[in-house]
Amino acid sequence: MAKENFNMENHWLPFTPNRHFRQHPRVFVAADGMTFTTDDGRKVLDGVSSLWCVGAGHNRRPINEAIKAQLDTLDYATAFQVGNDKAFKAAEMIAALAPGDLNKVLFCNSGSEAADTSMKVALAYHRTRGEGHRSVFIGRERGYHGAGLGGMSVGGIPANRKVFSTALLPRVDHLRFIHDPLNHAFINGVEP
Ligand SMILES: Cc1ncc(COP(=O)(O)O)c(C=O)c1O
């Protein structure tokens, strides 16, 4: 790609070796359906739906129009002490989809925030019903629960934890990773 077209000094990419990236940048400028367009005009298949965030496809007209209609009507309002009609409607629809009595919805801005928030809800729940001693979390080796300190604590990716070990939650244990190729896989067609 044409490096001279971009000043890449100010934007840090997460989970990316940034110095290397600047030498070999990969830059998208457009997306439609299942494909991206790169700045040098190549088409790239979005095989992971941009990490599961675009499962309905890029540049879908009904979604674009719904976003535009909402922007034109009510772009943003804080969620502290006030609500908005569409958020209540969305919560109602999610509650109807969720199983059993899972019928309370707390909106977050990312999976990382959702992971940390759900851990806080669990702690507060047990404390409120008089069982505040229930404060141990169990994660799984190699699990990923986002970039917040709570999510990294229950997460089990060593590279993500290494630098922050002194700040991670102390009351966390990890189950071993479920994928055990020695005992679970056919090797050359032979059990186990
Ligand atoms: C299980 C799980 N938790 C948390 C996250 C973090 O989500 P986000 O990148 O939106 O912060 C992810 C993202 O892949 C995830 O798969």
Given this model, what pLDDT does residue 53 score?
92
Is position 75 within any domain?
A: no
Phi, psi of 17, rounded to the nearest 5 degrees = -70, 95
For 39-91, the DSSP string reads: TTS-EEE-TTHHHHT-TT-BT-HHHHHHHHHHHHH------SS---HHHHHHH
Given this model, what pLDDT does residue 183 score?
76
Is position 94 within any domain?
A: no
Is position 163 within any domain?
A: yes
Domain limits for position 128: 111-175
Given this model, what pLDDT does residue 182 score?
75
Domain of residue 53, CATH code? 3.90.1150.10
Is position 117 within any domain?
A: yes
Is position 104 within any domain?
A: no
Total domain count, the chain: 2
Is position 161 within any domain?
A: yes
Given this model, what pLDDT does residue 161 score?
86
Pocket of ligand 1 (CB under 6 A): 51, 110-112, 115, 144-147, 151
* Burial classification of residue 168, based on how many CB atoms lie within 10 Å of its CB (0-12 exposed, 13-18 middle, 19 or more buried): middle
> Per-residue b/e over 66-82, b at no fewer than 16 CB within 10 Å?
eeeeeeeeeeeeeeeee
Ligand 1 pocket: which of 112, 119, 137 to mutate (most atoms <8 Å of CB)? Answer: 112
Tens of pLDDT, residues 95-119:
999 999 999 999 999 999 999 999 9
Ligand 1 center from residue 58 Cα (angstroms): 20
Is position 168 within any domain?
A: yes
Between CA 93 and CA 112 the distance in angstroms is 23
Given this model, what pLDDT does residue 192 score?
61
pTM reported for the whole predicted model: 0.84
Instruction: Note the residue count of the chain.
Output: 192
Given this model, what pLDDT does residue 152 score?
95
Given this model, what pLDDT does residue 186 score?
74
| Residue segments in the chain with a per-residue pLDDT below the cut of 70 | 1-4, 191-192
Is position 97 within any domain?
A: no
